[in-house]
Amino acid sequence: RRAIFEQLRQAPSVTADGQAFELHLNIGLLIELTRLAETGAKGIGLFRTEFQFMVSDTLPRLDEQAELYRAVVNASNGHPVVFRTLDLGGDKVTSYAPSTREPNPALGWRAIRMGLDRPGLLRYQLRSLIHAAGEKPLKVLFPMIAAPWEFRAAKAMLVKEVEYFRRRGRTVPETVEAGLMLETPGMAWAIEQILPEVDFVSVGANDLMQYFYAADRQNARVSDRYDVLAPAALQLLKSIRDACVRHNVPVSICGELAGRPLEACVLMALGYDRMSMAAGSIGPVKRALTALDAGRLGTWLASHMTDDLPSLRGGLLKAGSAAGL
Ligand code: PEP
Ligand code: MG
């Protein structure tokens, strides 16, 4: 198996019917950057900046944050890197963060909510990122955006910090992109309102499915209870992707879903040609996608998207094997 994946690493990322795709990595630690060369991934689709905060006993200082981000940018060797701003709270806790004792942490004060309510925290992080990027392009992704105003407020902070650097005659990145992490069903319904202001969208499928099905991703009793390939979920994912395409906004998907070969093929057939995943998934997913007739699976899917689940899943498996999976 290892040998197959090694060979695949060099192979072009194109499906059997000639559709190009891109696989990116989800990482959060500096040591994981070696996985870029090992897997042949196109870039870092999700750098989880909260890891540095979670492994530290105290709040990382601005220079400590900047040092990590600079090391990531340098080690990425020209590959694009998407830095997600702090996603603390919910399942991600630190010993020093403002109180995280809440009855429903997943529905509580987390991620961008914390960043906007404690703007000092987010501002410092944005400054660290701008500083670390130097003149290289910078991509910033805001997590858990549940309403358009949250994205606007976060993007305004980013723009303001870039201006702050410029006014002081400091180096600013050649381009700065603001991304929206789509993780709540409410945002999926409001996406059209904000897309004209968004540079890229990343669908956080772990949280999106958790909130869509109201099933705690950390509670084993319910986390796998609902099928992420059920018609309702597929229609949600398709409508998000189609809205982004209509507005010409690049969209990718990250989360466990993209890292599983069958699910990745279905995503590809829905039009998600950029996916970001854990390093161990790149080989298996690339193998599945390069063997896939995405057009054929897409056509099949278009007329079966609303089937009942057992026949949809059974059909997917069959259509998948007919399509080379
Ligand atoms: C997600 O929610 O799908 C995601 C990728 O982010 P995280 O798993 O870090 O919440
Ligand atoms: Mg998430």
Q: Write the pLDDT tens digit of every residue in 230-275.
A: 999 999 999 999 999 999 999 999 988 999 999 999 999 999 999 9
Q: Which residue lies with its CA nearest to atom 1 of ligand 1?
A: 204
Continuous segment of H or E residues that includes residue 200:
strand 200-204
Q: Which residue lies with its CA nearest to atom 6 of ligand 1?
A: 204
Q: How far apart are CA 294 and CA 263, in angstroms?
A: 12
Q: Measured from the CA of 254, which atom of ligand 1 is nearest?
A: 5
Between strands 251-254 and 176-182, the pairing is unpaired
CA of 131 to the centre of ligand 2 (A): 26
Identify which of 8, 42, 6, 45 has the alpha carbon closest to the alpha carbon of residue 26: 45
CA of 205 to the centre of ligand 1 (A): 7
User: How far apart are the two ends of the chain, measured CA to CA in Å?
Assistant: 16
Q: Which residues of 8-46 are buried (b: 16+ CB within 10 A; e: fewer)?
A: beeeebebbeebebebbbbbbeeebbebbebbbbbbbbb
ipTM higher than the 0.85 cut: yes
Amino acid 10: pLDDT: 87
Which pTM value belongs to this model? 0.96
Amino acid 311: pLDDT: 86
Question: Which residue out of 201, 211, 254 has the highest number of ligand 1 atoms within 8 Å of its CB and is therefore the one to mutate?
Answer: 254
Place of tokens 């958790």: 210
Between strands 274-277 and 81-84, the pairing is unpaired
CA of 87 to the centre of ligand 2 (A): 8
CA of 163 to the centre of ligand 1 (A): 30
> In this predicted model, which residue has the larger pLDDT, 96 or 279?
279
Question: Which residue out of 48, 54, 207, 216 has the highest number of ligand 1 atoms within 8 Å of its CB and is therefore the one to mutate?
Answer: 207
